[in-house]
Amino acid sequence: MPTTARPRHLRLPPFTNALPTPIYFRSACMPAGATYPTHRHAWGEFVYSFSGVMEVELQDQHFLAPSQYGIWLPPGVEHRGMNRYEACHCSLYVAAELSGALPRSTCALTVSPLLRALLEHFRQHSAGPAQTAEEQRLLQVAVDQLGSAEVAGSYLPSSRDPLLEPLLRMLQGNPGDARSLAELAQAVHSTERTLMRRSQRELGMTLSEWRQRLCVLSAMPPLEAGESVENVAHDLGYNSVSAFIAMFRRMMGVTPDEYRKELGGSPRPKAR
């Protein structure tokens, strides 16, 4: 959902009039609270976060994607990019004439192992505009992978519904809020049945699943920073570490420690 916090670090889009090459890769590490201002361009852009979570805000939609997903922006879409926490991300820019096989509307795309490996390769070896024939072929393979990727919508959908919008904003401001559905319904002067119906209609999922997805996204930055699983679980309102681990594994396919190891992180030593 749209953020109301003022950006602490403003970043300008790297290109305004034309791309250096028809397919161009760029990566950057962003401090917490960084924002790209609202803009649009004549080419498509695929945004992927190697660590942390990048967010893209349109006029009436808000997209977040953890590392299993990336966000595709077709040519001409007005958008604003941001990250609440430190994040290392990349953009794969695709000229309009090469975007025909890609989705025509903004969406989250599932990142295949091959596409993830290609993006990591580009991050480590990209030569910028001076592309060799081999690099051009690999970039085209990446675009082909985007064209065949599964559309996932938004990992954490938002809503303009007058009942849900303030509730979702309240939960996002405090992901560790452990109140029950009945207590949340009472807090927004509604009923459990109404919340359940609105959530399924507006979000395409139960409010419980939406809250679990929020917890997963909120857990990523501290896990990547080396915080202990126990501390992260406690901060997110879990009395049982095993319950948090089970939820994380169900949503991500890996445990918190396995997720951290995939990123090359390690837990902080426990305080004595």
The predicted model scores a pTM of 0.73
Residue 48: closest CA among 111, 106, 112? 111
- CB contact at 8 A, 82 and 57: yes
Superfamily the domain 9-153 falls into: Regulatory protein AraC (2.60.120.280)
Q: Name the β-bridge partners of 45.
A: 73, 93
Put the strands of the sheet holding 151-153 in their side by side order: 23-30, 87-94, 44-51, 69-73, 107-110, 151-153
Domain boundaries, the chain: 9-153, 164-262
**How many angstroms separate the CA atoms of 86 and 31, rounded?**
5
Residue 227: closest CA among 266, 254, 199? 266
Contacts of 171 (CB under 8 A, 6+ apart): 177, 184, 211, 214
Do 164-262 and 9-153 fall under one CATH topology?
A: no
Per-residue pLDDT of the chain (272 residues; tens, 9 = 90+): 334 445 567 888 888 789 999 999 999 998 888 898 999 999 999 999 998 888 898 887 788 777 788 999 999 999 999 887 788 899 999 999 999 999 999 999 999 999 999 999 999 987 677 788 999 999 999 999 999 999 987 788 888 899 999 999 999 999 999 999 999 999 999 999 999 999 999 998 999 999 999 999 899 889 988 999 999 999 999 999 999 999 999 888 789 998 887 765 444 333 22
Contacts of 124 (CB under 8 A, 6+ apart): none
Q: Is the backbone of residue 52 left (phi > 0), alpha (psi -120 to 50) or beta? A: left
The amino acid that residue 73 corresponds to is L
107-110 and 151-153 as β-strands: parallel, antiparallel, unpaired? antiparallel
Q: State which CATH number among 1.10.3720.10, 1.10.10.60, 3.30.1280.10, 3.60.21.10 fits the domain covering 164-262.
A: 1.10.10.60
